[in-house]
């Protein structure tokens, strides 16, 4: 069937309000066909494989969110749809992760109707679209970093110790908790600070909060 070819959109968000707000948005404009707005991930993924969406829209902070592995699977299965994240609470790491696996567009839920519509169309064409807030966020947060999106890599043990530090535990408590020598904790912390270019335990804790390594 020729006629005017509407863009097929599929949506996944655990928030009721967002699902219905989105439903209203895309159906009202008349330019799109909404395949569905899903709360359940399994059902959502099944429908993607049955229908042929041009654009996949999702909130990556949903309860049982899409992972980058999910996205890659979708990409592999067919001609890749465009991906658009509509969310709040963007975290640097998460944005990077999804950018790396090919998600084109990111907007916040605070964005205007027009901006969201623009983002959908951009995603359909495989173009990038970041709303100002996301953009600001990326620029701001990637200030101190070098080239890539990843912060200097910490080992699992180092991250563990960083987290506990940010929880307010001192070196001794961490040592007790992890059954380590106090010296070990100091050494790890020293290495963390070296890798992240920090100069005190306070800065380390600050880093953990600013970079969402612990929840606020």
Partner DNA sequence: TTTTTATTTAGACTAAATATAAATAATAGG
Partner DNA sequence: CCTATTATTTATATTTAGTCTAAATAAAAA
List residues near a second copy by CB under 8 A. Answer: 14-25, 63, 86, 88-89, 109-113, 116, 165-170, 198, 200-203, 205-207, 209-210, 212, 216
Q: Residue 157 interacts with DNA (CB under 7 A)?
A: yes
Burial class from Cβ neighbours inside 10 Å (0-12, 13-18, 19+) for residue 97 reads middle
What residues form DSSP beta bridges with 83?
Answer: 56
User: Residue 96 or residue 193: which is nearer to DNA going by CB?
Assistant: 193
Within 96-155, the residues that bind DNA by CB under 7 A are 153, 155
Q: Which two tokens stand for residue 139?
A: 């620029």
Q: Residue 203 interacts with DNA (CB under 7 A)?
A: no
Select from 145, 190, 206, 210 the one that contacts DNA (CB under 7 A). Answer: 190
Among a second copy, DNA, none, what binds residue 29 when CB lies within 5 to 8 Å by partner kind? none
Alpha helices, DSSP H only, in the chain? 16-29, 41-50, 68-77, 92-100, 113-124, 132-141, 156-166, 171-178, 182-196, 201-210
Longest dimension (CA), the chain: 72
Among DNA, a second copy, none, what binds residue 193 when CB lies within 5 to 8 Å by partner kind? DNA
203 CA to centre of own chain: 25
Q: Residue 192 interacts with DNA (CB under 7 A)?
A: no
Q: How many Cβ atoms are within 10 Å of 204's Cβ, its own excluded?
A: 19
Among a second copy, DNA, none, what binds residue 118 when CB lies within 5 to 8 Å by partner kind? none
> How many residues of this chain bind DNA (CB under 7 A)?
23
Shortest distance, position 60 Cβ to DNA, whole Å: 27
């Amino acid at each position: 069937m020729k006629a005017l070819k509407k863009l097929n959109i599929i949506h996944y968000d655990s928030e009721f309000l967002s699902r219905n707000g989105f439903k209203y948005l895309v159906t009202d404009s008349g330019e799109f066909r909404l395949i569905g707005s899903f709360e359940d991930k399994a059902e959502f993924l099944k429908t993607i494989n049955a229908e042929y969406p041009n654009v996949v829209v999702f909130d990556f902070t949903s309860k049982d969110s899409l992972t980058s592995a999910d996205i890659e699977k979708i990409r592999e299965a067919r001609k890749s749809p465009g991906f658009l994240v509509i969310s709040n609470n963007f975290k640097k790491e998460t944005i990077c992760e999804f950018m790396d696996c090919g998600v084109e567009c990111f907007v916040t839920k605070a964005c205007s109707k027009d901006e969201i519509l623009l983002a959908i169309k951009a995603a359909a064409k495989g173009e990038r679209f970041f709303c100002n807030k996301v953009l600001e966020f990326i620029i701001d947060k990637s200030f101190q970093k070098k080239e890539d999106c990843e912060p200097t890599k910490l080992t699992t043990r180092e991250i563990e110790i960083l987290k506990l530090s940010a929880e307010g535990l001192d070196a001794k408590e961490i040592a007790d908790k992890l059954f380590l020598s106090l010296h070990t904790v100091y050494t790890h912390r020293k290495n963390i600070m070296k890798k992240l270019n920090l100069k005190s335990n306070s800065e380390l804790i600050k880093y953990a909060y600013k970079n969402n390594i612990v929840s606020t």
